Structures are given as C-alpha cells and as structure tokens.
Amino acid sequence: MRLLVVHGPNLNLLGQRQPQHYGTLTLAELEDRMRQKAHQLGVELVFFQSNHEGELVDVIQREGAQADGIIINPGALTHYSYALRDALEAVGKPTVEVHLSNIHAREWFRRRSVIADVVMGQVAGLGWRGYLAALEALVSTLRDEGRP
C-alpha cells in the first residue's frame, strides 16, 4: 500500500511558526514519526510539501494517481483553493484532511474547508498526533476495502 502525504503552505516552518497553534515538532520530525507508524502498518509513504498551489495540484494529479490514498494538510489553501479541491476530486482516491490546530475554534475565516466535501474525513486539533490518526484510519479503511 502506498500513500501520498501532502503538506501545504507554511508547513515547512513547523517548529518555528506559532507553536501555540502548530506545536514544536519540525516537519522532518513529524514525517519521521509518520514513517515509524507506516513501517508498523506495512505501508509506504511519499511526502511532498510546497508553498505553491499549482505544485500541490501537480503532485496530487501525478502521485495521487499512483497512490492508494492521500493524507493532506492544505494549510491556508483549505479555506479557498477550489483548484486543490478539484484535483482531489479528480484523482478520486480516499483522502483524509489533517490540521494541526482546531480550525473550527480559530478565526472565522479558518472555520470553513472547501475540500471537506471531497474527503472521507477530517482530523483537526490533535497536533502531530492527528497525522498518525489519519494514517491509521486511512490504512484501516483501505484494508476494509480489500487492499493489502
């Protein structure tokens, strides 16, 4: 099983940017924890981070087509990127949306996700642990569908 993990704008600044919202773990440390969990689950992860919407769309179209599922933290693009939403819908892979902070308890403009209706679920407010929850849920769902 191969999963694509997509990190959107500013996630390269994890550990430095607003730790009260996003925690103190760096992106590399978060990905290491995901790799450890993926190894336990027997799945392969492909990671990608960009601050550019078009690059995110490109990787979803290119790598998402080859993946069994997708985990995505779109960052601020969550709230307005119809291009990202349409790319996820077009590849049609089971997808889990992840947010480190609880977007529903923050500023009014962060409370809406334009991609929520094309993903199987959303994890918000659990910090880096939300990525592990998303990984476990996605793998479990795919295995329930008969994927090895």
Q: Catalytic one among 7, 21, 22, 39?
A: 22
User: Is 131 in the active site?
Assistant: no
- The catalytic residue among 39, 99, 104, 131 is 99
Exposure of 77 in the CB half-sphere (CA atoms within 13 A): 28
Which of 101, 74, 98 has the alpha carbon at shortest distance from 87? 74
Residue 109's Cβ-count burial label (10 Å; 0-12, 13-18, 19+) is exposed
Question: How crowded is residue 30: how many other Cβ atoms within 10 Å of its Cβ?
Answer: 24
Q: Where are the beta strands (DSSP E) in 31-145?
A: 44-49, 69-73, 95-99, 121-124
Respond yes or no: is residue 22 known to be catalytic: yes
Are 82 and 14 spatial neighbours (Cβ–Cβ below 8 Å)?
no
Residues annotated as part of the active site? 22, 99
